Amino acid sequence: MTSAALHFLKGHGTENDFVIVPDPDGLLDLSPAAVARLCDRRAGIGADGVLRVVRSAAHPEAREMAGEAEWFMDYRNSDGSVAEMCGNGVRVFARYLQLAGHAEAGDLAIATRAGVRRAHLAKDGDVTVAMGRARLVDGAVTVAVAAEGERPARSWPARHVDMGNPHAVAFVAELADAGSLLAAPVCSPAAAYPTGVNVEFVVDRGPRHVAMRVHERGSGETRSCGTGACAVMVATARRDGVDPAATGRPETYTVDVPGGRLLITENPDGTVEMTGPAVILAEGDTAAGWL
């Protein structure tokens, strides 16, 4: 990591917040320790993760996608670990590209480790992202939260949904049932999630309307998770007997997260779209040598 000052921006999507690091030519070596320091909420800038902005042609993991998408979202969790995708991050990434003059309102392709994602920057400020197809993985999965105080540990059956990253979706009576979520919920069998898992706890709010809390692997409980909201929508729709492939029309659910509201639509071809806000709120430079 260079000893020079690091230029950054700060943004969020439904309060899932990110440090954005422009690095168009792929010259920065952001170590896991540097990412964790940037995301530290007491001794750093503070965020759920880092969005490094690199031209696809300049990054070895994205060169094959350069013909489809000029820009690659190198996403890191707040602990420094690498992640395949982040749905809220894609919206914020698209908003940054617009702010920086790299994109205009309309359609935009973004390369990620989960493949190319297509975003639409609407004039009203919301961003819609084509999130790809959800994959419902067969097999029984259980989610358990550790005991707090005198309360015994509780467990629920969960639905394994893959959105390019893994999710375990559990339906609960009250969101408070999940406890503090300071520690990662325990998912079994462990073999179902060899690289870890994002866990969503879901309650009903009304017809085609749910609310969720999420524990993201590598970040802990966050205010929102875009891929998690998509996984929740698909799992809830199947629980409700709703399948766009059968109805032949798009089906939309409202998903409330602690940081706001997302609209998730599943199309008859199985593709999922997410619509929500994306805000860039600050820009600055770290002190020279801080990292």
270 known ligand binder = no
Catalytic residue (choose from 39, 86, 187, 230): 86
pLDDT tens digits along 255-289: 999 999 999 999 999 999 999 999 999 999 999 98
Check residue 151 and give its pLDDT.
59
- pLDDT, one tens digit for every residue, the chain (291 residues): 557 899 999 999 999 999 999 999 999 999 999 999 999 999 999 999 999 999 999 999 999 999 999 999 999 999 999 988 899 999 999 999 999 999 999 999 999 999 999 999 987 789 999 999 999 999 999 999 875 554 567 899 999 999 989 999 999 999 998 888 878 899 999 899 999 999 999 999 999 999 999 999 989 999 999 999 999 999 999 999 999 999 999 999 999 999 999 999 999 999 999 999 999 999 999 999 898
Catalytic residue (choose from 39, 187, 225, 230): 225
227 known ligand binder = yes
Check residue 182 and give its pLDDT.
79
Assign domain 7-130+278-284 to its CATH architecture: Roll (3.10)
Check residue 97 and give its pLDDT.
97
Check residue 150 and give its pLDDT.
44
Long-range contacts of 30-36 (CB under 8 A, 24+ apart): 30/1, 30/74, 30/76, 31/1, 31/80, 32/76, 32/79, 32/80, 32/81, 33/80, 34/1, 34/80, 34/291, 35/76, 35/77, 35/78, 35/79, 35/80, 36/78, 36/79, 36/80
Active site residue 187: no
Is residue 265 within 8 A of residue 251, CB to CB? The reply is: yes
What is the domain partition of the chain in residue ranges? 7-130+278-284, 133-275
Check residue 153 and give its pLDDT.
75
Nearest 5°: CA angle at 21, between 264 and 29?
120
Identify each DSSP E strand in 56-114 by its residue range: 71-77, 106-112
195 known ligand binder = no
Question: How many Å apart are CA 192 and CA 187, to the nearest integer?
Answer: 8
Q: What is the SS3 assignment for 69?
A: coil
Closest CA to 90 of 195, 176, 163, 173: 163
Check residue 2 and give its pLDDT.
57
Check residue 1 and give its pLDDT.
53
142 known ligand binder = no
26 known ligand binder = no
Look up the CATH number of domain 133-275. Answer: 3.10.310.10
267 known ligand binder = no
pLDDT tens digits along 142-188: 999 875 554 567 899 999 999 989 999 999 999 998 888 878 899 99
Q: Would 7-130+278-284 and 133-275 be classified into the same CATH topology?
A: yes
- Give the phi and the psi of residue 258 in degrees, each rounded to 5: -55, -30
